[in-house]
Amino acid sequence: MATDPSPQIPMRASSKRSNNSIHPVDVETPPVRTPTPIIYREIKHFKKWIPWLVPAFVVANTVMFIITMYVNNCPKNSVSCVADFLGRFSFQPFKENPLLGPSSATLLKMGALHVKEVVDGDQGWRLITCNWLHGGVFHLLANMLSLLVIGIRLEREFGFIRVGLIYIISGFGGSLMSALFLQSNISVGASGALFGILGSMLSELITNWTIYANKVASFVTLLVIIAVNLAVGILPHVDNFAHIGGFLTGFLLGFVFLIRPQFGWVSQRYAPPGHSSSARPKFKKYQCILWAVSLILVIVGLSLGLVMLLRGVNANDHCSWCHYLSCVPTSRWSCNTEPAYCSSTQLGSQVNVTCSTNGRTTTYFLPGASSSMIQSLCSQQCS
């Protein structure tokens, strides 16, 4: 009997009519446990924002300055101008405006803060519009560079809504305090809003104290920056009341808008499924107290200040030493910043201008002198 030397191996073929593949050997394999995938979620409470509002504020302030210089039109309204090659955009004489900018009359026309216009003329909008005007190129550059340095960092951390609210409300608070104490001068500039940003950075550091690593160094550095900037405000022709009012408003608003949850609550909220830990509150008790107190103070303070201003209250009558907060007189400078007033007589092309402050009289030969030209001469005469 013949035998086949090759071993007989059972084979199973897969049918072309079926989509199921049949393996040569059916072996039951134990199920393999795949690890639960880790889901990474962005922690929205600490995410980084793309700053665009602060640069937009810089552009808006710059555009407003260009428009102001166009309206100023120095060659038409003044006897002499600085940088005549700029034509309509040339600057007022240095004696009238050493900051390379427009005249006071133009700033007033564009919306500068003047208490008489606010109280007697019912032009309360000047408390807002003055924050978008600047007295000159130097004034604009100083404020905008500072805003870019400190504002972009804050917007990247907290977003445009919070920073925008702090900027606008702080500017209003600075204008309000300036109007209560400096009632004879006009005031312009974004300094109040800028100091509000500085104040909010300080309160943000305080209310979120536990999440900072180098907290003491950051606190001391920020205090030095604020102290130096406020010290500059005691020089003449600088509205330090706007700085102080903006700083105080921004300081309070920082406790309201820039509060962060504690790390324990964040790690618990974004923990993977199945992770159990003891429940922790979102905010610490001191953060909640600071939030409530600051919100009440900022609402009451701004409301009370606005009521006092509209009633014609002069805050200097209730504080005899407060004027030193804005200017400290020394042997090198005077704190007298009263606006220039002159009497003028015109006979043909001859114009006599007499300053009411120092009694100085000068005769000019100006054919067809306009009131704007005479006011410009008055400012130079009294400087």
Active site residue ranges = 191, 243
Would you say how long the chain is, in residues? 383
Concatenate the DSSP letters of all residues of 356-376 into one string: TTT--EEEEE-TT--HHHHHH
Query: What residue type is assigned to position 105 of the chain?
Result: A
Alpha-carbon gap, residue 360 to 381, rounded angstroms: 7
* Degrees to nearest 5, angle at CA 86 with 80 and 92: 35
Which residue from 121, 284, 316 is spatially nearest to 206, judged by alpha carbons?
Answer: 284
Q: Which residues of 95-108 are buried (b: 16+ CB within 10 A; e: fewer)?
A: ebbbbbbbbbbbbb
Sequence-distant (≥ 6) Cβ neighbours of residue 260 within 8 angstroms:
45, 46, 207, 208, 211
Q: Which residue has the tokens 């030209």?
A: 373
Pairwise CA distance, residues 102 & 376, whole Å: 11
Which residues make Cβ contacts (< 8 Å) with residue 152, sequence separation at least 6? 51, 54, 55
